[in-house]
Structure 1
Amino acid sequence: MASRRSRRAPEYADVHRLDTFPKVLADNAKRFPQDIALREKDLGIWKEVTWAEYGLMVRLYALGLKDLGVERGQVIALLGANRPEWLWGEIAAHALGCASLGIYKDVLDDEADYLLAHSGAVAVIAEDEEQVDKLLTLAARVPSLRHIVYCDPRGLRKYSDPRLISQDDLKARGRALDARDPGLYEREVAAGHGDDVAVLCTTSGTTARPKLAMLQAGAFLRHCLDYLEADPRHPGDDYVSVLPLPWIMEQVYAVGQALIARGIVNFVEEEATTMADLREIGPRFVLLAPRVWEGIAADVRARMMDASPFKRAMFEIGMGLGKRALARNRRSWLAEALLFRALRDRLGFSFLTSAATGGAAMGPETFSFFHAMGVPLKQLYGQTELAGAYVIHRAGDIDPETVGLPFAKSAVRIDNPDAEGVGEILGRDQGLFAGYFGAGDATAIDDLRDGWLHTGDAGFLKKENGHLVVIDRVKDLAVMSNGVRFSPQFIENKLKFSAFIAEAVILGRDRPYLAAIICIRWSILAKWAEQRAISFTGYSSLAARPEVYALLRAEVERVNASLPAAQRVRKFLLLYKELDPDDGELTRTRKVRRGVVAEKYAKEITALYQGDDAVDIDTHITFQDGTTARIQTRLKVETLISADENGPIASKAAE
């Protein structure tokens, strides 16, 4: 699709005049009614939605909600996967002067209960029966919830709850109200103002329940425009919406930027078809979380396991040429011909003009892997409270160790830097939030002083180019009992570059050496084991295999070789399960909740530090469908550096 599109000059909406989402949408629908705005793949067919149709759906949704009694200033929640209906519902909420609240589709009952009750949501637009069932169980705990609009009617026709209404019935109500009062929608949209709180966006919640940051329409749109000045997008540029819409950066890309720049937002059929659908679209822009980029890199290397000796040799030669050329800030034409052109096509990256990653740190190894391949990957940095990213790499100014430079109307500085220039990162941006819902305005927030947000992240500004380098969370920077300072996240990212490691947690605060809890990458290691006729029955049994321990030992030793002696991992064990957001071990954006891990796996951590060779596990795990399973296994503690070697303990004395 991308190869057939003509390239126009960047052309952005006037967000100073059109200061709300519905105003920008109405202008697009009026001026460019037949241009494509959205695509959704359904039953193998890409279905297109024009700007005129987009505007009509939002109109009917809004008037339907108005007919149900929804009033200005209330909250409308959205629950489900990324679909056009989500965008229609969100912008319809804004058209009525309501705030939208996105909830992750895999939310647990307790989280949904908290978010809906705390926000006082009066209506939820839910994707399907699964989400409706979740909402109906919360009936008694969320008295404010009066309406549940469902988009997919399958399985719901026999439900009799009076709060349920199908989207078809909602649109029918909208049509009827539009016929009775033809100018009502326009009056509602005109009544909206840029100072209105449009989006309630959940913070990451790494240490507690997420807060709801209140983002104003005008400030958010101006922030998105500033982003586009730093990373331009053209009308008709394709974007594939993969990351969850409740996340602030997906709000920036799929909602704000798409409206302002008239990009085309594409929705994949299902998560399992993402890479195939992405290849069909051939997007100009893509935003993926670091874990997704890491997964793609791991999958590429894993596929080489199945390749012929000749193809494996070509891959190694091509990657070697590409990385050596990248070190000289060049591209290798031979590597392009041997490997990279075909590899980018295979991944759906042939037409990319900009690719981004954010939400968590990415290791330099993964970043350089894609740049050697010719993928124009950029790191970005920001916070929900500042409307997402406000620091990004610019084209032609890429540094894999940094996250780039602030936008033109944004700024960063380092608070209380030490002798090496490392301190807390402070950020300032015009997208500044209006406060946390239910906690007063932003002036009452301790982390906001004189317009600067204290991010809680540690970093420094690189002298050579002024780029921002993010090290870790300030609270996560740790010191061992021997005085050696280290960043867990930095080492974890190095470990996760391995095709066989899905997650890693580095331990060592107030301890004599560093140790690691590692989660294997199941999909790739299962294939690796099958090729070698290694028997296993599931994740736990595979993780306990001695062959797997030997393989992972080599991977950790490879990382250790790149680290100072004082910061090398001395011991590790392979966990019997993956870390999971549903178990509270990760946030919904896949950041480690270190406090939860430390408490939940205290027995395993103790074994790593008291000299045990193994630790016996007898526990139960709960699956997403509510079923449980008993896990009985013995986790080996693998020692890489003994106490009498010149390892972490001895290194301090040597200093």
Structure 2
Amino acid sequence: MPHTLPQALLHQARTRGSAIALRHKRLGIWHERSWSELARDVGQLAAALQERQFGRNDDLLIISQAHPEALLMALAAQWLGASVTLLDPDRDHRALLIGLRPRFVLVQNLDALQQLSGHSVIVYLDGRGLSQHLNANLIAYADLRTDAPAPPCARQSDATAFVFHAGSALGLTHAQLLADARALVAREQLSADEEALAARVFAASGQARYLLAPWLHAGFRLNFPEALATRDTDRRELGPTLVLGTRESYARLEHWVRERLPLPGTVSHALYHWALQPSESPVRRWLGHWLVRRPLLDVLGMSRLRVPLLVGPALSPQSATFFAALGIRPGHWQEPAARLEATDSMLSQSA
């Protein structure tokens, strides 16, 4: 049994190597990586980090939106036994970074880089606008390569995998994450056939516990939208079977639909309300599904949704009623009180 997240990756590569592990959309095209390709790439990144004197006692700071490169870097750091600190790129972390003083950082772009000071080794994903900042400590992700073989994969299950900052630091070990993953997979009956959308990959503890770790444990497919702004379009195109969100993210989808409903007093508006009312009539339920509910689910990109998940506070009564009328009743995974602030603020746009 795997003891760490990278070991779970290696297990999937050994048992399901040719199956698709990850998809990401770039310039309108979905690109795929198999489990064996993913394990190879993470191992190469781990070797490249090790060549730069990054090791077990270090922490990799990541300031990025949902990108597969950020995920691979996190797993590469954990491969070496290091921890990973994750910060929301939409927030100003200058005060926090003064105390952290990170030595190794992955940033998405110039905006994230400008929050940093000192002599960190910084790997960047998007080099636009960085020309005046280029120096020996600034490395393009594409240049982080080596011919050295992958180092041995760390096995310490009690090592810290991720650190989150929301008021105070919260660390999650590999053992905790894998235990949570096993519980979620068993309760929700997740399989390797799931399609999950990672709009803000593990930017909060709920993402790490209920998306990333279950992905590695169950071996389903993790999909990255092209950008946060395209997540709704990409969700409709993909049709995920698993969605993870918070009260705020479900409310955002509800508001998005309500803004596009027909005006009150029209026949279409009356049909919408008629279709969403509970009914014991099989004919009415059937007509309501095909005339209203199914088109709405298609618009939301949830027509194939099998496992809706909710982390943090429960849905508002209005949202619960709205989604229940569409046949969507999110499984609620309540975060401990100390973690709610991180989950609420960082996951609010994930679904």
Q: TM-score, normalised by structure 1?
A: 0.50
Larger radius of gyration: 1
User: How far off is 1:118 after superposition?
Assistant: 3.6
- Residue in structure 2 matched with residue 282 of structure 1 by the alignment: 239
CA shift digits 1:449-481 (9 cap, x unpaired): xxxxxx9xxxxxxxxxxxxxxxxx9xxxxxxxx
Name the structure, 1 or 2, with higher relative contact order (CA <8 Å, separation 6+): 2
Does residue 378 of structure 1 match 2:331? yes
State the secondary structure of the residue aligned to 1:91.
Answer: helix
User: How far off is 1:238 after superposition?
Assistant: 0.5
Does residue 356 of structure 1 match 2:315? no
CA shift digits 1:499-543 (9 cap, x unpaired): xxxxxxxxxxxxxxxxxxxxxxxxxxxxxxxxxxxxxxxxxxxxx
Distance 2:337 2:207 in 1: 11
User: How far off is 1:384 after superposition?
Assistant: 7.8
Is the 8 Å Cα contact of residues 199 and 214 (structure 1) preserved in structure 2?
A: yes
Distance 2:310 2:102 in 1: 31
User: How far off is 1:112 after superposition?
Assistant: 4.0
Distance 1:287 1:301 in 2: 21
Distance 2:134 2:263 in 1: 53
- Residue in structure 2 matched with residue 47 of structure 1 by the alignment: 31
Is the 8 Å Cα contact of residues 87 and 255 (structure 1) preserved in structure 2?
A: no
User: How far off is 1:352 after superposition?
Assistant: 0.9
Distance 1:243 1:159, change over 3 A: closer
Identify which of 96, 99, 112 aligns with 2:80. Answer: 96
User: How far off is 1:89 after superposition?
Assistant: 0.8
Q: Please list, as runs of the form range in 1=range in 2, the aligned pairs for 1:315-326 lying within 5 A after superposition.
A: 315-320=272-277, 322=278, 324=279
Q: TM-score, normalised by structure 2?
A: 0.90
Does residue 194 of structure 1 match 2:157? yes
Is the 8 Å Cα contact of residues 200 and 347 (structure 2) preserved in structure 1?
A: no
User: How far off is 1:258 after superposition?
Assistant: 0.4
Distance 1:332 1:273 in 2: 33
- Residue in structure 2 matched with residue 68 of structure 1 by the alignment: 52
Distance 1:589 1:265, change over 3 A: closer
State the secondary structure of the residue aligned to 1:304.
Answer: coil
Q: Give, as a single letter, the amino acid of the residue that structure 1 aligns with 2:332.
A: Q
- Residue in structure 1 matched with residue 190 of structure 2 by the alignment: 233
Is the 8 Å Cα contact of residues 71 and 96 (structure 1) preserved in structure 2?
A: yes
Aligned residues: 345
- Residue in structure 2 matched with residue 521 of structure 1 by the alignment: none
- Residue in structure 2 matched with residue 165 of structure 1 by the alignment: 139
Q: Please list, as runs of the form range in 1=range in 2, the aligned pairs for 1:299-310 lying within 5 A after superposition.
A: 299-305=256-262, 309-310=266-267
State the secondary structure of the residue aligned to 1:77.
Answer: strand
Is the 8 Å Cα contact of residues 43 and 269 (structure 1) preserved in structure 2?
A: yes
Is the 8 Å Cα contact of residues 247 and 315 (structure 2) preserved in structure 1?
A: yes
User: How far off is 1:47 after superposition?
Assistant: 0.9
Does residue 156 of structure 1 match 2:137? no
Does residue 146 of structure 1 match 2:111? no
Distance 2:346 2:222 in 1: 22
Q: Give, as a single letter, the amino acid of the residue that structure 2 aligns with 1:341.
A: R
Unaligned 5+ segments in structure 1 are: 1-16, 140-144, 389-454, 456-472, 474-580, 591-655
User: How far off is 1:376 after superposition?
Assistant: 3.7
- Residue in structure 1 matched with residue 291 of structure 2 by the alignment: 338
Distance 1:384 1:49 in 2: 37
- Residue in structure 1 matched with residue 254 of structure 2 by the alignment: 297
CA RMSD of aligned residues (A): 2.5
Distance 1:100 1:80 in 2: 13
Does residue 126 of structure 1 match 2:107? yes
User: How far off is 1:273 after superposition?
Assistant: 1.6
Distance 1:278 1:151, change over 3 A: same
Identify which of 78, 84, 99 aligns with 2:62. Answer: 78
- Residue in structure 2 matched with residue 601 of structure 1 by the alignment: none
Is the 8 Å Cα contact of residues 20 and 193 (structure 1) preserved in structure 2?
A: yes
User: How far off is 1:253 after superposition?
Assistant: 3.4
Identify which of 220, 224, 242 aligns with 1:267. Answer: 224
User: How far off is 1:355 after superposition?
Assistant: 0.5
Distance 1:303 1:155 in 2: 38
Is the 8 Å Cα contact of residues 249 and 347 (structure 2) preserved in structure 1?
A: no
Q: Give, as a single letter, the amino acid of the residue that structure 2 aligns with 1:80.
A: S
Q: Give, as a single letter, the amino acid of the residue that structure 1 aligns with 2:112.
A: Q
Distance 1:113 1:88, change over 3 A: farther
Is the 8 Å Cα contact of residues 206 and 335 (structure 2) preserved in structure 1?
A: no
User: How far off is 1:587 after superposition?
Assistant: 4.4
State the secondary structure of the residue aligned to 1:38.
Answer: strand
Is the 8 Å Cα contact of residues 197 and 225 (structure 2) preserved in structure 1?
A: yes
